[in-house]
Amino acid sequence: NAGVTQTPKFQVLKTGQSMTLQCAQDMNHNSMYWYRQDPGMGLRLIYYSASEGTTDKGEVPNGYNVSRLNKREFSLRLESAAPSQTSVYFCASSPIDRGGKAFFGQGTRLTVV
């Protein structure tokens, strides 16, 4: 099984550009999450989706939008990238009966110049 797959793995954007980070899971999990991790810090929750068709803000949602396209896919969009959004982005998923046992992707390393 692939688990949680994120694309792209690396990206460099110019300030003001937009892009979408893709995430897909093949474990039939209900919940999906987007986190960001700045250098030397822990992960911070951006948005999450408890189930297909629902999304909610996490700790640091400003500057981002999300789409739960279907049960497998949860995308994160930066409409107008800023240098402060330079970070490593992790997608995760968890099953409905073990919500705390999450599985993470390998991350997307985004640099905004």
Partner 1 sequence: DAKTTQPPSMDCAEGRAANLPCNHSTISGNEYVYWYRQIHSQGPQYIIHGLKNNETNEMASLIITEDRKSSTLILPHATLRDTAVYYCIVSDLYPEYGNKLVFGAGTILRVKS
Token readout for 60 is 């640091």
Q: Does 107 interact with partner 1 (rule: CB under 8 A)? A: yes
> Taking CB under 8 A as the criterion, which residues in 67-106 touch partner 1?
88, 90, 92, 94, 96-106
In angstroms, the CA 74 to CA 95 distance is: 15
Inter-CA distances, 24 with 15, 17, 108, 109, 112, Å: 27, 23, 13, 17, 24
Give the nearest distance from C-beta 86 to partner 1 in angstroms. 14
Token readout for 15 is 């300030």
CB 76 within 8 A of CB 46: yes
> Taking CB under 8 A as the criterion, which residues in 14-73 touch partner 1?
30-31, 33, 35, 37, 41-45, 48-51, 54, 56, 58-59
User: What residues make contact with partner 1 under the rule CB under 8 A?
Assistant: 4, 30-31, 33, 35, 37, 41-45, 48-51, 54, 56, 58-59, 88, 90, 92, 94, 96-107
